[in-house]
Homo-oligomer: A and B are copies of this chain.
Amino acid sequence: MAREGESDISNLVDRLAASSVEHDRIQHLSSTHLPNRDVVLWVLEQLHGVLFPGFFGARDLTEENLREHMHGLLEEVRGDLESQIAGALRYHDETPARARDITGAFLDRLPEIRRLLSLDVQAAYDGDPAARHTDEAVLCYPGVRAVTVHRIAHELLKFEVPLIPRIMQEWAHAETGIDIHPGATIGESFFIDHGTGVVIGETTVIGRGCKVYQGVTLGAKSFPKDERGRLKRGVKRHPTLEDDVTVYAGATILGGDTVIGAGSVVNGGVFLVQSVPRNHVVQAPLVEITLRDRGLNSQ
């Protein structure tokens, strides 16, 4: 029996080896340039420690030891991030030398990312009557978690780093149920409450002070195709929210030309494929619900 099992495995290995040649789209042999997801996520975790010192990562930080701690952390992040970017850039046939420049330029953006995140945390506290302290927003809110990863991934995407921003984003999506494409442009003081099911597409533009609730889609109406019938990649397909727009749970806003004017509110469940002027409320007619007696004896 053991012998039979052995020859079964050998036969299976033959077929899988043949399959790896025939269906080579889902193998990645003899190639070194694939970013390592574990290392990318390790970098992301360290960046949380840099951006929220004392909240994530080392817990014994003081104003005295902060600088030395940061220094060590950033040295490590720089080395690992640069090697991952160097690998990813080969998708674009770019030299590893550019990885060094990109890594430096990205790290240089960290203070600005911190400034934005501080405003996002305040917006989360201000927007949620169930919040008790801004620390709760930092430690617990999936919206803050997803926006933190987005602000990191978006900077890397601006430097045209392949794959790594998407690996970071999909980690955040798995953690939070919030799916923000790293290409989306999001202004300061942004808050997503609850968040499960939120989808924000690649070419979305969001102004300052916007709020979005669970189940909101900012998506594409239909996908433009080129003259050969292939999807066009890179066209603006997703909507624009101007400043101080609120979109309540389950609303869907579609289209690259759809602009929601500053200060406007889109009510829950609304399906919207047209622009809205400033300072308006968009509402669907209240559906006449029907009550039908179940015909049970009252208890």
Contacts and interface: CB of A to CB of B under 8 A. Distances in A.
Contacts of A23: 114-115, 117-118
A121 interface: yes
Chain B CB within 10 Å — which of A62, A126, A140, A294 has the most?
A140
A228 interface: no
Nearest to A267: B289
A41 interface: no
Nearest to A276: B291
A125 to B, nearest CB: 9
Given A173-B196, A268-B271, A289-B272, A233 B132 contact: yes
A55 B71 contact: no
Interface residues of A, number: 138
A20 B232 contact: no
Copy number of this protein in the oligomer?
3
Contacts of A252: 249-250, 268-269
Interface in A5-40: 5, 8-10, 12-20, 22-23, 25-31, 34, 36-37
A129 B231 contact: yes
A293 B296 CA distance: 44
B179 A196 contact: yes
A292 B282 CA distance: 7
B294 A280 contact: yes
Contacts of A18: 111
Nearest to A91: B133
A20 B197 contact: no
Chain B CB within 10 Å — which of A36, A62, A70, A133 has the most?
A70
Interface of A: 1, 5, 8-10, 12-20, 22-23, 25-31, 34, 36-37, 50-55, 59, 61-63, 66-67, 70-71, 74-75, 78, 91, 100, 104, 107-108, 110-111, 114-115, 117-118, 121-122, 126, 128-136, 138-142, 162-163, 166-167, 169-170, 173-177, 179, 181, 183, 194, 196-197, 199, 201-202, 214-215, 217, 219-220, 223, 231-235, 237, 249-250, 252, 262-265, 268-272, 276-296, 298-299
24 contacts: A12-B111, A17-B66, A19-B111, A19-B115, A25-B118, A26-B118, A28-B61, A34-B139, A36-B59, A91-B132, A129-B234, A130-B181, A139-B166, A141-B170, A177-B177, A215-B217, A217-B249, A269-B271, A272-B289, A276-B291, A280-B293, A280-B294, A281-B291, A285-B290
Q: 7 nearest interchain CB pairs? A: A28-B54, A23-B118, A129-B231, A30-B62, A140-B170, A281-B292, A130-B202
